[in-house]
Homo-oligomer: A and B are copies of this chain.
Amino acid sequence: MSSSLLEARRELSLANRIVANEGVIDAFGHVSMRHPDNPGRYLLSRSRAPELVAPEDFIEYDIESQPIRDPGVGQYSERVIHGEIYKARPDVNAVVPSHSPAVIPFGVTRVPMRPVMHTGSFLYVGVPVWEIREAGGATDMLVRNGTLGKSLAETLGDKPVVLMRGHGDVVVGPTVQRAVIRAVYTEVNARLQTIALGLGGPIEYISDEEGALRDKAGGDESRAWDLWKTKALGK
């Protein structure tokens, strides 16, 4: 195993624990990353709650979401979400589908998610809602096959976040750290937007121009990562 792969497994395991510890993900979400040495593959845990995932739990998948080797363990039934997004989005190297709780109400109402604070400013490009019924009619609500996964990736388009109606959201990023930070602040922003809407009256959202400037400036991701790592491991 290459040293970059070893390091990737450690970081991805930590990412799984962080999103759980920060309240974004429950027992049923996942965090994947594109393979560091082979962009046609990705790493995803065997079927296990993210909070319990360890470096040795990751399975290598090809872009069609087939395991490279027989894993001999349970696999996530919705792994096509990851494969289809990696296929459609060469710029994406990490994918986080979850049941992010504050986000779910925005997926079942017609209220659009918009950024109320600068840490959520990446949402300024808009947050599309994917309606699984339009892609597959009545289903058991899981993204179980490539057709559904492809449709979801199309609704995501070039955005950082897509909501899944009655299910949760998928957050993507160019790196694992960026995707995790986006996932956390998508949840935080949803919570605060809900409160602001409850207060009523016009809301001054982050403008497109502000969002674009914030995106361009980048952020000090390590500050959050170091804190969340300490907290996730200290539990």
A216 to chain B, nearest CB (A): 7
Residues of B within 8 A of A115 (CB): 166
A5 within 8 Å of B by Cβ?
no
A177 within 8 Å of B by Cβ?
no
Give the oligomeric copy count: 4
Contact A52 B138 (CB under 8 A): no
Q: How many residues of A contact B (CB 8 A)?
A: 68
Residues of B within 8 A of A217 (CB): 140, 142
Residues of B within 8 A of A119 (CB): 28, 99
A224 within 8 Å of B by Cβ?
yes
Q: Given A210-B140, A227-B49, A205 and B28 touching (CB < 8 A)?
A: no
A141 within 8 Å of B by Cβ?
yes
A168 to chain B, nearest CB (A): 7
Q: Flag A198-235 by CB within 8 Å of B: 1 or 0 each.
A: 11111111110110011011001001101110110000
Q: Given A111-B201, A117-B166, A230-B52, A192 and B104 touching (CB < 8 A)?
A: yes
Q: Flag A112-130 by CB within 8 Å of B: 1 or 0 each.
A: 0001111101000000000
Which of B105, B204, B226 meets A49, CB within 8 Å? Answer: B226
A36 within 8 Å of B by Cβ?
no
Residues of B within 8 A of A155 (CB): none
The A169-219 residues at the B interface (CB cut-off 8 A) are 188, 191-192, 194-207, 209-210, 213-214, 216-217
The A1-58 residues at the B interface (CB cut-off 8 A) are 26-28, 47-49, 51-52
Give the interface of A toward B (CB within 8 A). Answer: 26-28, 47-49, 51-52, 74, 77, 99, 101-102, 104-106, 108-111, 115-119, 121, 131, 133, 138-142, 165-168, 188, 191-192, 194-207, 209-210, 213-214, 216-217, 220, 223-224, 226-228, 230-231
